[in-house]
Structure 1
Amino acid sequence: MNQPAVQPALSFEQFRQTMLAQGYDEVVARHWKQAEEVEIHTHPFEANAIVVQGEMFLSVQGEAERRLLPGDRFHLMPGTPHAERYTAEGATYWVARKS
């Protein structure tokens, strides 16, 4: 069942400006294809994100898998092992990164 896109409380530009003011280096929109899976991996940067469309599942080492819908946020520190999977509709999230 397709879920309607939820209009975020902020625009991308507002999110970007807020995150840059908090010291993040860059802010990008990530679009994931339907039913895509990303195996366990890490990043050399901190990631602070908000889901704006679709549905995803995030597995962080040592924690239960989380279902994330529009409006849900996630935060990962550098080097945190995690995996992602996306449902049949895919997903979009905005993410601020800090090296």
Structure 2
Amino acid sequence: MSSSEIQKTRVINELRGFIKKLLQDPKILEQSLEIARRQLSEGSKSEAMARIANEISDTTSVHIPEDPTEHSEADRLYLEVLKEVVDEEQALY
């Protein structure tokens, strides 16, 4: 198995675990979106992702490392998707 296949398998396994958490506690999605909406509307956009990650970790069962350099591919993907959803919501208004 190549290193890229190992990396893909690791990301898939992490995403599977994360999806299980969401299915076990659907409030996580609502809380995450609320946090993302608020943090993206406040202060520096460049720091918003770190603030979102920190607040999600503080208020839900999802743990995202405080340091963005320690974010896994799945962490980054989740934060990017949250930002996209909020951006699309705002574009509708």
Q: TM-score, normalised by structure 2?
A: 0.31
More strand by share: 1
Relative contact order higher in (CA < 8 Å, ≥ 6 apart): 1
Structure number with bigger Rg: 2
Which structure has the highest helix share of the two? 2
**TM-score, length of structure 1 as denominator length:** 0.30
